[in-house]
Structure 1
C-alpha cells in the first residue's frame, strides 16, 4: 500500500510556528486538535488534513480566505520520492515515484447552515514504478509512494460524510472510507518513509477487511467521546474480495462480492501530562471479518494442498488486533507537535490465513528541534515483523515439490519467509512555507523476510509541498 497524504499533512502541521497558527478561524482550532489526535474531536475526520496548514503560495491571492469563510477547504499537495539500494537485495536499482493529492472538505454549516455536517473527497494521481519488487522485499515496503494504485490519472481514495450530534460528542461517518484512516491510525509514523506503519500497521492493512489508504471500503464509523481525553469508535464495512477496491481507479463502488462485513472497534486515551502539556495518544482495538478465507497451507484434511491436489480448507473469519501509542517526552516549543515524541505498537493478524502474524515497532521523532531549526524534524525507528508458521509450511511444501512459491498478501515471494527487521533514520528539512525535503536511510535485515538475498542498505529522499 502507499500512503502519503497523511504524511504531507503532518509535515505541514509540524511547520506551524505556534499552536495559534492553526487556531483561527475556530474551525481550524478544532481541526488542529483532531490532526494531533488529542484534545477534542472535530466534526471532520479523525485524521490529519491539509486545511489550516501553511501553503507554498500563501492564500492564493485571497482565494483561500474567501473559500474557507464559506466552509470550503480545497488543497493540492505534491509528493515526489527517490529510493535506491546501495548494497544487498535482489537487484541494484533506483526509482522515482510520486503523487498529486487533491482534497475537498466542505463544512455545510458555514456554507448552507446545515449544522454539524461535513463532506470529504480525496483524489490522487500516482506515477512511477515499484521499488519493492526489484529490491526483493514486498514485506516491509521501504518506499512510501508507489503501491496499491500504481500509475493512475485520478484514483478515488475516500468520499464520505460526517454528521455530529450532542456538541460533537457523537460523530457518524458514512461513505467510501479507508478503514485505516480511522482505526489503528498513527500519523506521526508517516514521518518515516517505510510504509509498514504509515499510517496504519501491517499486517492489518493488507487484509481485505481492513484495507488502508488509498483503498476504501463502503461502510460507516461511529465515534463517541465520553470525556475530553477518551473516545470509543466502532465501524462496519463491506468487505471487497477485489485486489483493487472500486477498480484500479477506485470509482466503481458497487463491485461484485460485497456480501460480507468487517466490524471494527477501538478505545483511545489522549492525556496531557504536566505543566508543559506533554500530549499522548494510546489506543487498543480489534476487528473481525466474517468472510471465509483459504488456509495458507492445509487442504480439507489438514495436509498440504499443493502436495495432495485437494481443495483448500476455508477458515470462517479472520481477526486482527493492535495496541499503539505516541507520547511527547520533552516539549521544545509552543506548537502542539514541538517536542521529542516516542511512538510504538504491536499488531497481530490470524496467521493461518494472513501471511504476517505479528509486527512490533518503536521509534523517536523530534520536531521543533532545539538546534535553531524549529521546523525541521528528525527520527529513528526499529521494526520487527514475523511471518506466520502456516505460510512457512506452504513455502516449504513448494520447495520440496519444486514448484514456484505462491504470492500472498504482501506480493511476490522469493523464499521461505520467517522474519524481517527494519532500522530507519531520517532528517526532514523545512525549505520554505509548506515545503520540506527529507533524507532517509533504511537497513533491511532479511529483506522479504527470507535469507534468499543479502541484507539491504537503502537510501531515499522525499520532496513534499502543500500548494
Structure 2
C-alpha cells in the first residue's frame, strides 16, 4: 500500500485544501431520522484522503474512495483503474451493514450489491414512439487471499474477482428502429437467466504493482480500449468499452467474458504497457447465454490485444491526463461483407462469402483535466474523446469518433454531482454499403452483420448526449439523460429520434 498512499498524497496539494474542505462541509447527504440511522448503522469511513466523486462503471456519482486506496491489486494503479474493477464503489446506502462490512473486509472479503433501473423513451422520431424499463441487479465479491488465509508472502497481492448480474427489460433502440446502437447503458448480452457471469479471474501483483497478471474469465473491454469516464454516459457506443472494437467477436466487451490472461507492466508511475491473449468464441454468446459455459466448442482461435498508456499530471494542481493507443488482432476467419469466393456480390450470386483471414482494430483514447475541483483523478473539468477503427471488410462499422466534456457540480456547491455532454459519430464500411445497395437494387432483403440488420442503406450515425447526475445520498444517485439520434440506425429511413431517460442506481 506504500505506493498508493504516496501517489494519493501527491494528488492532494495545498492549493486544493480549501476546495476539499468546502466539499466536506457540503457532503450532500440526506439527514435521516435517528430510528432509520439505527437500522442502517454507521457509515464506514475509509482512512486517508477525503471521499471524492469518482464515477463508477454504472455512472452513479456516489462518493467513493479512489479504487487504488480502497481495493488493492490491479485496480490500484495510481491514475485510477485501467479496468472497471469492483463496480459499486466503497460506500453503501445501508451504511456498514450493522458492522458486517468491516467484519468481512477485515477478513479480506469485499462484497457489494447493486440495483440499477433506467426508464427511457423516444419522445419523437424513429420507427415509432415507445418506452422501456431496463435494469440490472448485480453483486461483486473480491477476495484478498493474504487476509483470508493469513498466509505467507506467496499470497501477498493475490486476489479473486467475481461479478454476477441479472438483467431485464427491452431494447428501446430496436423498438424505434435502431439496430446498430443502444441508447440504454444497461441492456443486452445478459441472457434470460438468474445469474449471468460477467467475470471471474485471479490477479497477482509484484514489485509494488509494477507487474500485474490476471487470468480467468475476463471481458476484454474491461482492461483494453476503455477509460474510467466512459460510463458517465448512457450510450453503449461509449459505455463498457469503445465501439466498434467491443462489437467484434475477438474483443467483446462487458458483460461478455473470454477465457484469457492480461499482463500489465508499469516501468514508471506514468507509463504502462498491457497485453492480453483471449480465446475467441465463434458463438453469439461467449460462455453461452448464461456466461457460465466456458468450455464451448470451436475455441481454437485467439485474439491478441496490446495497449500503451501515458498518465501525466501537469502543473501544481496535478491536472491528470490519460493517453492510450492500442491494437487488437484476431486470427479467426470471417465472412467478407460484400465479396463472394469469386469477388462478386454474394447477396446476388448466392455463392458463399469470401473468408477473410484475421480481423484488426485500432484505437486512440485521450482525456485531460483542464481545471481541478477536488482530489480525485476525475474531479474537475475534463475534455476527452477517442477514435477507433475496425476492418471494414468484416465489420459493419469501421470508423468511430467521440468527443466529450464533463465536470462535477463543485461550482454550484454540489461537488458530488456530475454533468457532461458528448458527440458520438460512426461511419459504416464501404463493403457493408455495397452489399446493401446490391440487395436493394434487386429487391432483396438487406443483409446485416455485427451491428444488426438495417432498415435502409447505411452511411453514418451521430448521437448528441447530455446528462446530469444527482448525488442524493451515499449509495443513491439519479441521472436524467438526453440523447438526439441523427440518422437512426445509420439510415435516413426514419426521422431523427429524441430519447429522454432517467436512471436510478442504489448501491446497498
In the alignment, is the contact (CA less than 8 A) between 2:88 and 2:114 conserved in 1? no
Q: Match for residue 322 of structure 1?
A: 363
Contact map agreement 1:376 1:428 (CA 8 A) in 2: yes
- Tell me what 2:408 maps to: 367
Equivalent residues of 1:40, 1:229 under 8 A apart:
no
User: Greater CA radius of gyration, 1 or 2?
Assistant: 2
Q: Which residue of 1 aligns with 2:130?
A: 93
Gaps of 5+ in 2: 1-53
Work out whether residues 209 and 289 of structure 1, in 8 Å CA contact, stay in contact via their aligned partners in 2. Answer: yes
Q: How many Å apart are 1:27 and its aligned residue?
A: 5.0
What is the alpha-carbon distance in structure 2 between the residues aligned to residue 235 and residue 267 of structure 1?
A: 12
d(CA) in 2 for partners of 1:256, 1:323? 33
Preserved CA contact (<8 Å) 2:83 2:227:
no
1:242 aligned partner: 283
In the alignment, what sits opposite 2:243? 202
TM-score under structure 1 length normalisation: 0.93
Cα contact 1:140–1:422 (8 A) shared by 2: no
Is 1:16 aligned with 2:56?
no
* Compared CA separation, residues 59 and 464, structure 1 to 2 (3 A): same
Q: How does 1:346-425 map to 2 (within 5 A)?
A: 346-425=387-466
Q: 1: CA distance between counterparts of 2:59 and 2:299?
A: 36
Q: Which residue number corresponds to residue 338 of structure 1? A: 379
How far the C-alpha of 1:435 sits from its partner, in A, is 1.0
Distance 1:363 1:105 in 2: 32
Distance in structure 2 (CA, Å) of the matches to 1:412 and 1:306: 14
Q: CA deviation at 1:54?
A: 1.3
Is 1:107 the counterpart of 2:107? The answer is no
Q: Cα deviation per residue 1:305-361 (whole Å; 9 max; x = unaligned)?
A: 111111210000000000001111111123442211111010000000000011000
Return the match for 2:477 from 431, 436, 444: 436
Say if 1:131 and 1:151 are closer, same or farther in 2 by CA, change over 3 A: farther
CA contact (8 A) 1:120 1:158 kept: yes
Alignment match of 2:92 (pick from 35, 55, 62): 55
Give the direction of change, closer, same or farther, for the CA distance of 1:445–1:155 in structure 2 (3 Å limit): same
The equivalent of 1:220 in structure 2 is 261
What corresponds to 2:23 in structure 1?
A: none
Q: In the TM superposition, what is the alpha-carbon distance from 1:9 to its structure 2 partner?
A: 4.6
Q: Quick check: 2:110–2:142 contact (8 Å CA) kept in 1?
A: yes
- Work out the CA distance in 1 between the residues paired with 2:162 and 2:373: 35
2:188 matches 1:147? yes
Residues 1:263 and 2:304 are matched in the alignment:
yes
Query: Which residue of structure 2 aligns with residue 28 of structure 1?
Result: 70
Once residues 228 and 7 of structure 1 are traced to their aligned partners in structure 2, the CA distance between those partners, rounded to angstroms, is: 22
Could you tell me which of 455, 458, 463 is aligned with 2:499? 458
Alignment RMSD, CA only?
A: 1.9
Q: Tell me the distance in 2 between the aligned counterparts of 1:317 and 1:127.
A: 35
- CA–CA distance in structure 2, aligned partners of residues 59 and 9 of structure 1: 22
Judging changes above 3 Å, is the alpha-carbon distance between structure 1 residues 165 and 38 closer, same or farther for their aligned structure 2 residues?
closer
Task: Give yes or no for the alignment of 1:39 onto 2:76.
Answer: no
Alignment counterpart, residue 65 of structure 1, candidates 97, 102, 109: 102
> How many residue pairs were aligned?
451
Give distance in 1, aligned partners of 2:256 and 2:371: 36
SS for the counterpart of 1:196 is coil
CA distance in 1, matches of 2:327, 2:57: 26
Query: Partner residue of 2:163?
Result: 122
Partners of 1:406 and 1:249 lie apart in 2 by: 28
The answer for unaligned runs of 5 or more in structure 1 is 1-5
Contact 1:235 1:265 in 2 (8 A): yes
1: CA distance between counterparts of 2:122 and 2:87?
A: 32
Aligned to 1:191: 232
Q: Is the 8 A contact 1:328 1:339 kept in 2?
A: yes
